[in-house]
Amino acid sequence: MALPHPLRSLGLLLLIVAATFTRVSAQSFTLATRPLVIPENGEFTQLVIITSTNEFLFLPPAGWKLGIDTNQTQLTWLAPDFASSITLKIVPRSEGKPSGREQMRQTILETFSGAKIVDEPACYSGSGPGQAFDLEYLGGKDFKQASRLAYLPFHDGIVEFALTTSAEKFPKRQYDLNLLLNSFHIEPRGPSR
């Protein structure tokens, strides 16, 4: 049985193809689509973030709603129940984001005040390994939240993924994030392309 096609809506497809963003740091990217044939499962539509130096290709989470934040230049998917989200942000090296594990840990704890890092697993993408951090914190009155922050380094910066959900749904939503990460790969753009 073939997996469901992640982008069936023509309106959404046209919106994605037409979306172009400019970063405050003067780096711009375009969001496009490409067909991808997986012999065992059929044809899918993969998203492609195109920058001046790289192309980031991946299959979006099936059934999740895509939101585009032009101020933050990031992509955000909301789960069908609207109780979980996954964000993807490409951070150029010039923006000074930390690259070492200890520096990442310190930045995370400063950003997520009151959070506790409960695990630091390796994460893997189609382009290689990265580092993840699992957090737990209170999202409201006695409402336990969980997040996985995954960082994939590449030549020009870091790709940041953030899964946020309830602690109860965290194991299931990790699966959704892992599917996205496993399909994610980076291709350099050069004069021959």
**What pLDDT shows up at residue 70?**
60
Q: Between residues 27 and 143, which one has the greater pLDDT?
A: 143
Dihedral sign (CA 173, 179, 182, 185): negative
Give the pLDDT score at 140.
Answer: 75
CATH class, domain 10-186, is alpha beta
Lowest mean pLDDT among 37-46, 95-104, 110-119, 131-140: 95-104
What's the CA angle centered on 60, arms 173 and 19, to 5 degrees? 130
Segment among 19-33, 80-94, 96-110, 131-145 with least mean pLDDT: 19-33
pLDDT tens for each residue of 1-25: 333 433 333 233 323 333 333 332 3
CA distances for 179 relative to 5, 12, 94, 182, angstroms: 14, 21, 29, 5
Q: Where are the domains of the chain?
A: 10-186
Mean pLDDT of the chain: 82
Percent of the chain with pLDDT over 70: 79
Predicted confidence (pLDDT) at residue 136 exceeds the cutoff of 90? yes
pLDDT at 26: 36
- Give pLDDT tens digits for 142-169: 789 999 999 999 988 899 999 999 999 9
Full 3-state SS string of 99-124:
CCHHHHHHHHHHHCCCCEEEECCEEE
